[in-house]
Amino acid sequence: MDQLHLMRVYVAVAEEQGFAAAARRLAMSPPAVTRAVAGLEESLGVKLLNRTTRHVRTTESGSRYLEDARRILAQVKLANEAAAGINADPAGNLVVTAPVMFGQMFVMPGIVDYLQRFPKTQVDALFLDRVVNMLEEGVDVGIRIGDLPDSTMRAIKVGSVRRILVASPDYLKQHGIVQSPDALNEHSLISSSAGRLVQEWRFDNLSNTGKNSGLTIRIQPRLTVTTNDAAIKAACAGFGIARLLSYQVSEQLAKGQLKILLENFEPTAMPVQIVHREGRLASAKVRAFIDLMSERLRLNKSLN
């Protein structure tokens, strides 16, 4: 039986976690799906799935094979599209992910531009304050802030952002300038739990040797909010000191509504990167979006 067909059937069963659901997805009969998976396991000499009366789960070997099979099938699809000339004009559905506030500020304008330029495309935008598993969640392109733990992704650096402390001029006039991170808990602190709640703030400090040494302060916030927008509003209102990413408050800094504190103690700037899973045969819809978004982000002064 065709190896690629067996892979497609196996991927469907593993993703649907059931033979009946996979059969419906593939428009095949359940016995045919069962025979295909059994034939694949026999040819490989490896058990790929653990089956019970209620669940179907991948074995350890099955999980590794699932990842490889997905990648191979994706490459076959791209090669077929390239040979057929489909890549000549961007078309089809594109799934994009980015952090919530970054997506709203920078990615959405780029998506609108992309859709207007290429009328045969559609975009699903996932703005989430968590790291999305692009393979499992079917995401084509992601914009991420920080170093990438997943070396299998292809990344294009388009800028960098800093993690900064800010407060309003009114607050600083009333409570004074913070001279060191150790003095932070003498002030009203604002913590945002967007993405994940962090009760420790890390700083860098230039030691006598000329090398950066880490400094971590456990904070006691007076105000904890669930969005970065709310933290910015509270800081602008003069309530206290907030820790945010530089792009999030670029407008308020430019207008003088907020001031940066402890600039000499800031951690190393974090890269902004466009990541994707496709290689040299990347489809036109992905290539066109990456080219457009790279140009827009590199020209943005808030990120460079």
Report pLDDT digits (tens) over 16-51. Answer: 999 999 999 999 999 999 999 999 999 999 999 998
Please give the share of the chain, as a percent, with pLDDT higher than 90. 62
Number of domains in the chain: 3
Domain extent, residue 175, equals: 163-265
Global pTM?
0.68
**pLDDT value for 89:** 81
Question: Is the domain of 154 the same as that of 275?
Answer: yes
Same structural domain, 64 and 10: yes
**Least confident residue range of 6-10, 84-88, 169-173, 293-297:** 84-88
Which residue, 84, 103, 121, sits at the end of a domain? 84
CB 202 within 8 A of CB 214: yes
Q: Assign 209 a pLDDT band (cuts: 50, 70, 90).
A: very low
9 and 65, same domain (yes or no): yes
Least confident of 19-23, 51-55, 85-89, 247-251: 85-89
State the average pLDDT for the chain: 88
CB-based burial, 216-240: b 16+ in 10 Å, e otherwise: ebebebebebeebebbbebbbebbb
CATH number, domain of 102, equals 3.40.190.10
pLDDT range class, residue 216, cuts 50, 70, 90: confident
Strand 270-276 relative to strand 141-145: parallel, antiparallel, unpaired?
A: antiparallel
Number of other residues whose CB lies within 10 A of the CB of residue 283? 21
Average pLDDT over residues 99-120: 96
Question: What is the predicted pLDDT for the residue at 52?
Answer: 81
CATH number at residue 218: 3.40.190.290
Contact between residue 243 and residue 228 where contact means Cβ atoms under 8 Å apart: no
Same domain, 20 and 45: yes
Considering 55, 84, 113, which residue would you say is the last residue of a domain? 84
Is 149 buried (19+), middle (13-18) or exposed (0-12) by CB count in 10 A?
A: exposed
Three-state SS sequence of the chain: CCHHHHHHHHHHHHHHCCHHHHHHHHCCCHHHHHHHHHHHHHHHCCCCEEECCCCEEECHHHHHHHHHHHHHHHHHHHHHHHHHCHHHCCCEEEEEEECHHHHHHHHHHHHHHHHHHCCCEEEEEEECCCCCCCCCCCCCEEEEECCCCCCCCEEEEEEEECEEEEECHHHHHHHCCCCCHHHHHHCCEEEECCCCCCCEEEEEEECCCCCEEEEEEECCCCEEECCHHHHHHHHHCCCCEEEEEHHHHHHHHHCCCCEEECHHHCCCCEEEEEEECCCCCCCHHHHHHHHHHHHHHHCCHHHC
CATH code (residue 34): 1.10.10.10
At residue 208 the predicted structure's pLDDT band, cuts being 50, 70 and 90, is: very low
| Residues 146 and 52 both lie in one domain | no
Same domain as 106, residue 198 = no
Last residue of a domain, one of 84, 114, 144: 84
Quick one: 295 and 171 in the same domain? no
Residue 61 shares a structural domain with residue 131: no
Please count the other Cβ atoms lying within 10 Å of the Cβ belonging to residue 19. Answer: 22
19 and 52 belong to one structural domain: yes
pLDDT band at 206 (very low <50, low <70, confident <90, very high): low
What is the per-residue pLDDT for 260?
96
Average of pLDDT values for 72-91?
Answer: 74
pLDDT value of residue 79: 75
Could you tell me which residue, 32 or 211, shows the higher pLDDT?
32
225 bridge partner residues: 192
- What is the per-residue pLDDT for 99? 93
Separation of alpha carbons 286 and 49, rounded Å: 33
What pLDDT score was predicted for residue 197? 52
Chain centre to alpha carbon of residue 157: 14
* Claim to verify: residue 207 and residue 247 sit in the same structural domain: yes
Q: Quick one: 52 and 98 in the same domain?
A: no
Question: How high is the pLDDT of residue 283?
Answer: 80
Q: How far is CA 212 from CA 9, 59, 184, 204, 206, in A?
A: 53, 45, 20, 6, 5
Average pLDDT over residues 171-191: 93
Tell me, yes or no, whether 116 and 172 share the same domain. no
pLDDT class of 207 with cuts at 50, 70, 90: very low
Q: 42 CB contacts (<8 Å, ≥6 apart)?
A: none
Residue 1: per-residue pLDDT: 59
Mean pLDDT score, 112-126: 96
